[in-house]
Every structure is written in structure tokens, then in C-alpha cells.
Amino acid sequence: MIFDPQHRKNVRSARISMALFRLSQAIKKVTQEESDVIGLSPVQVQALLFCQYTRSDVATVGNFASTIGTTHVTAVKIVNGLVSKGLISKVQKSDDRRVTLLQLTSAGIEIIPKLENWGHVLEEALHPISDIMLANLELGLGSIISSLEDRGHLTVAEPCLGCIHFHPNVGETAQPHYCDLIHKYLTHQASLQQCPEHTPLSKPKA
Ligand code: SF4
């Protein structure tokens, strides 16, 4: 039981689990404060950033729900709140009208620069830590994220580079890259957007 300090004394995984739990509490607090300044909730900010950085053809409510680790119903409520504020619009996917895609409206696009520093308090907290320690931390955290992903607790969306399905520079100039998962050629810009199907070439060892 990670909340039992005596147990933590003897078990490293319990100590690290508790550290991660405390981190999650701190992150919740700082992102709430950063969101209050903008007049949005942290999940609303995440929805706007999801629309901004996710490849447009996979920016679905379902993928948003997976990204923030919530249910579809909760994600719909968050999105509907932003639709009422005029920041997000819902459009049907052109080649599959059963799928609804999320897009920033012009008002949503205008608000994005205000979100540029969202998360900076967390990043600044890492500045005093040495590079070598951060490199080790990155490896360790990568393993934890990978393990959580394998257990279905987390979805990690990343751009195409480093994905096993990515075939760069095999097509025409307008759409130079190919994805063998969705069997489509991609523009360079699309390949730089986050994709929830990203499958890393090499996963950090658990
Ligand atoms: S599956 Fe991989 S290669 Fe295909 S679009 Fe997603 S990230 Fe890019």
C-alpha cells in the first residue's frame, strides 16, 4: 500500500509510485492556476491544445477522451462547453460521415497564443536539475509511461517521426510521406501533428 510510509521505506516501487502521485497532485494544482488566468478549466485548455496539435483527420472526441484519460461522455461534455463558447466546432469527416472531427473556430485559433505558456511552471521546476539527472529521469519516466500504455491506462499521441508505420520521403512533393497503418500519403505538415496511433520504433525498456 503506497500510502503506508513504513511500506514505502522498504519498497522502491512504492516510493516512486507515491512520488508520481504527489507529482500528479502538484500538476493538477499548477495547471488549474494557469487555466484560471485564461478563464478556462484545465481540461478545456487540453481540448483546445488537442485540436491545435492533433492531425485533423484523427481529432475525434474518442481520441480526445483517450488522450486525457476520461470517458467518452465526459469528453463530449467538455467539447460541448467549448462549442457553446464558440471556440470549437464539430464537423463530419468527409470520407466517413459517422465520424465527428473537432476543429478550432477562428475564436479558438485566436486564443491559442494565450496558451503558449500553459505548463511552464512545471517546466521551470525542472530547470535547476542537471542534464544528466534529467536524461536518467527521461528514461525512467519513458519506461513508466510505456508500462502504463501497455496496460491500457494511457494513450500517447506523437508525430510520425519514430513510428514503425512511417515511411518518409517515398511519395510526391505535396504528400511525401506514407503511413502503412492508414495506407495514406501524408503532407509534411500532417506528419508533424500528433497521432494517437503512433507506435514507437523502440520502446523504452520496462
Ligand atoms: S500511425 Fe504512425 S506513421 Fe501513421 S499517421 Fe500515425 S504516427 Fe504517422
* Neighbour tally for 31: CB within 10 Å: 19
Predicted confidence (pLDDT) at residue 113 exceeds the cutoff of 60: yes
Q: For residue 196, report the distance from its CA to the centre of ligand 1, in Å.
A: 8
Q: If pLDDT is split at 50, 70 and 90, which confidence band does 76 have?
A: very high
For residue 88, which of 54, 134, 136, 48 has the smallest C-alpha distance?
48
For residue 106, what are the CA distances in angstroms to 38, 51, 52, 112?
17, 12, 12, 10
Residue 28: all three cell numbers together: 493538477
Q: For residue 192, report the distance from its CA to the centre of ligand 1, in Å.
A: 10
For residue 27, which of 17, 16, 35 has the smallest C-alpha distance?
35
Higher pLDDT, 205 or 104: 104
Q: What is the pLDDT of residue 93?
A: 87
Nearest CA residue ID for atom 4, ligand 1 = 179
Q: Which residues of 94-130 are buried (b: 16+ CB within 10 A; e: fewer)?
A: eeeeeebbbebbeebeebeeebeebeeeeeeeeeeee
Determine whether the shortest distance from the Cβ of 179 to ligand 1 is under 6 A: yes
Predicted confidence (pLDDT) at residue 94 exceeds the cutoff of 60: yes
Q: What digits encode the pLDDT tens for the residues 126-147?
A: 999 999 999 999 999 999 999 9
For residue 167, which of 149, 194, 185 has the smallest C-alpha distance?
185
Q: What is the pLDDT of residue 202?
A: 77
> Which alpha helices (DSSP H) does 91-201 contain, by range?
106-111, 120-126, 131-150, 188-191
Distance in angstroms (rounded) separating the CA atoms of residues 168 and 46:
29
Model-level pTM? 0.88
Determine whether the shortest distance from the Cβ of 195 to ligand 1 is under 6 A: yes
Bridging pattern class, strands 177-179 and 184-186: antiparallel
Give the up-direction half-sphere exposure of residue 65: CA atoms within 13 A in the CB hemisphere: 12
Predicted confidence (pLDDT) at residue 111 exceeds the cutoff of 70: yes
Q: For residue 8, report the distance from its CA to the centre of ligand 1, in Å.
A: 40
The four Cα atoms 112, 116, 120, 124 give a dihedral, to 10 degrees, of 170
Predicted confidence (pLDDT) at residue 205 exceeds the cutoff of 60: no
Which secondary structure element, helix H or strand E, spans residue 186, and what is its range? strand 184-186
